[in-house]
Amino acid sequence: MKLHNVPFLTFSEFIRAKLKSWAIRGLQKDAQDIVYVLSRYWNRVDINRIPEQDMDTFAARNPDAAASWTALKRRYGM
């Protein structure tokens, strides 16, 4: 999506991109970014845009994200 000709990512797209980056490089900075966005905006995230298996792995390795991920899955009846 573009906003005044500036690329803009939704929360879901941001988490998906950071999750892919984290899976490849394993940087703590990527993990912190995911946890920050997920914990604050979990109710605005479209779970269909996030690979469930990758996010399950991420939540298992980063307990700070587990509660938000569980709440998001519960919201979508998973």
For 21-63, write each residue's pLDDT tens digit: 999 999 999 999 999 999 999 889 999 999 999 999 999 999 9
In Å, how far are 1, 3, 8, 38, 67 from 58, measured between CA atoms?
26, 30, 24, 12, 12
pLDDT value at 16 more than 60: yes
pTM higher than the cut 0.75: yes
Helix or strand (DSSP H, E) at 5 = none
Q: How many residues does the chain have?
A: 78
Q: Are 35 and 64 in contact (CB under 8 A)?
A: yes
pLDDT value at 4 more than 70: no
Q: Are 78 and 45 in contact (CB under 8 A)?
A: no
- Retrieve residue 32's tokens: 């912190």
